[in-house]
């Protein structure tokens, strides 16, 4: 399973408890890696928590995720990652905005 590359065994076990194995196996590895790298390059220090709770973010085409992150960065300012870390529900806004971009 490719998620082993990104998660330690504890997080991996939790992901399998939170999501159906069938769903996890449907994830596009290449896009997952691209979204992961976008988060990493933007200094998200809680990527494992995002995978655990917001796996659907990694389904969205990386270009739309990047646009959505740019939007939230503009709206929240320079410490946007810290603000998201304190209020993880902001990930939902990134997901919603990325989906909106994809539907245009």
41 pLDDT exceeds 90? yes
- Residue 20 is given by DSSP the state -
Residues spanned by the domain of 71: 2-102
Over residues 12-38, the mean pLDDT reads: 96
Q: Count the Cβ atoms, other than its own, within 10 Å of residue 98.
A: 25
Average pLDDT of the residues in 27-49: 97
Overall domain count for the chain? 1
Q: Are 63 and 100 in contact (CB under 8 A)?
A: no
50 pLDDT higher than 80: yes
Quick count: other Cβ atoms within 10 Å of Cβ 55?
A: 17
Q: What is the pTM of this model?
A: 0.94
């Amino acid at each position: 399973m490719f998620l082993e590359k990104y998660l330690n065994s504890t997080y991996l076990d939790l992901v399998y408890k939170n999501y159906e194995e069938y769903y996890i196996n449907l994830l596009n590895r290449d896009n997952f890696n691209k979204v992961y790298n976008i988060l990493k390059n933007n200094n998200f220090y809680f990527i494992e928590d995002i995978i655990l709770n917001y796996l659907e973010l990694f389904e969205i085409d990386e270009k739309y995720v990047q646009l959505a992150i740019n939007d939230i960065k503009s709206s929240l300012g320079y410490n946007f990652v810290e603000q998201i870390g304190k209020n993880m529900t902001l990930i939902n806004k990134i997901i919603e905005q990325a989906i909106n971009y994809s539907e245009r």
